[in-house]
Amino acid sequence: MFIFGKSRKGTSAERPSSSGSSFVRHRALSVRSKNGGGGSTQTSPTHRKGFTFASLRGSIQPELSRKLYRVIKSSNNLVSAHENAGRERTNIATQLSEWGEQTGDDGVSDISDKVGVILSELGDVEDNYAHGLEDARGVLKTIRNTEKSVQPSRDSKAKIADEIQKIKVKEPQSTRLVILEQELIRAEAENLVAEAQLTNVTRQKLKEAYAAEFAAVIERAEKQIILAKHGRRLLTLLDDSPVTPGDARESYQEGSAARQILNDAEDDLRKWEPDLDFEPGAGPAGRVATPEREVENARPLPVDDGNYMTPAVAKSDAADAELRTGDNVHTTGVAA
């Protein structure tokens, strides 16, 4: 068990036994590549390349949402991999059963067919797992969409501040300064709301997404354990004591026992329930995960251009803004 090997570095004093593995492992308590940006350069979607397929597919992301975009893209590959696995399982189930039939050996024929049923159920569970991962992925999109919508707010604030600095240098008396400073305060207020929405959505949806993902892992695991253990019972029904040439095997008598095992497996699967002892944590009821409908372009958060807003005012609006967040992020969905 070398996993987390390096993680022991800190505590190898208590566990000298496993500290030996510290150096053979590439992983630490962190999976973060030491140079923060390193990862993004490897696989980030092509940008600064003008007109490319990536740009057509809208996969050029604002800086803020680029890293999560990669996670969502890789998650899509993960979903496909498990979908393929489920499909192959089902193919194998039928092929194994047909092979057994062709052997002309009643015992091999029946057991291979029943094992095939177990395998194809394993395949169904694998496929459901893929759907569970897809749902979790949908929740991550909510974060990414909020990130996208916050970017313009940051940009406009920075742009106004820039302009003010320029003018202060060139023409300190300009009356435009007053206007611009008012605009800046409004932009800052709007950005305060946007950033609050971002941190709230990020934390709530991050927990929601991985709570859903871990729940899917546990459901697949518990159901496949049920199936595999009944599958092993099936194997014990097949007598594999060697026969000598010229001797016939005793005829196969285990058909009904094998059928009963499949019935037991079905009963156990029907009894299965998710363990609800886990509550990922707070978060308004409205925030339950629903992979949002995809739309072509992201819309920035609504900005009350007209109003002069102080941070204080913004604060009093926060609850309302807070409530709107859910809808905002859902109307800004973008295909990964």
- List binders of a copy of itself among 162-221 (CB under 8 A): 189, 192-193, 195-196, 199-200, 202-204, 206-207, 210-211, 214-215, 217-218, 220-221
Q: Among 263, 288, 294, 302, which residue interacts with a copy of itself (rule: CB under 8 A)?
A: 263
- Tell me whether residue 120 or residue 328 sits nearer to a copy of itself (CB atom): 120
Q: Among 184, 269, 289, 295, which residue interacts with a copy of itself (rule: CB under 8 A)?
A: 269
Nearest distance from residue 55's CB to a copy of itself, in Å?
Answer: 21
Q: Which amino acid is at 267?
A: D
With a CB cutoff of 8 Å and minimum separation 6, the contacts of 297 are 58, 334
Nearest distance from residue 177's CB to a copy of itself, in Å?
Answer: 25
Q: What is the CA 91 to chain-centroid distance, rounded? A: 27
Report how far residue 154's alpha carbon sits from residue 277's, in angstroms, rounded to the nearest whole number: 40
> Per rule CB under 8 A, is residue 235 in the interface with a copy of itself?
yes
Q: Of the listed pieces 110-118, 157-165, 174-182, 298-306, which binds a copy of itself according to CB under 8 A?
A: 110-118
- Tell me whether residue 177 or residue 206 sits nearer to a copy of itself (CB atom): 206
The answer to whether 45 and 66 have CB atoms below 8 angstroms apart is yes
60-79 positions binding a copy of itself, by CB under 8 A = 67-68, 70-71, 74-75, 77-78
> Per rule CB under 8 A, is residue 236 in the interface with a copy of itself?
yes
24-63 positions binding a copy of itself, by CB under 8 A = 27, 29-33, 36, 39-40, 43
The answer to whether 187 and 158 have CB atoms below 8 angstroms apart is no
Report how far residue 146's alpha carbon sits from residue 328's, in angstroms, rounded to the nearest whole number: 8
Place of tokens 């040439």: 245
Q: What is the CA 144 to chain-centroid distance, rounded? A: 12
Q: Among 60, 185, 295, 318, which residue interacts with a copy of itself (rule: CB under 8 A)?
A: 318
- DSSP output for 257-271: HHHHHHHHHHHHHHH
Q: Among 57, 162, 166, 225, which residue interacts with a copy of itself (rule: CB under 8 A)?
A: 225
Buried b (16+ CB within 10 A) or exposed e, 220-258: beebbebbeebbebbeebbeeeeeeeeeeeeebebeeeb
> Per rule CB under 8 A, is residue 101 in the interface with a copy of itself?
yes
* Cβ atoms within 10 Å, residue 74: 13
Q: Of the listed pieces 153-161, 168-176, 238-246, 300-308, which binds a copy of itself according to CB under 8 A?
A: 238-246
Strand, helix or coil for residue 95: helix
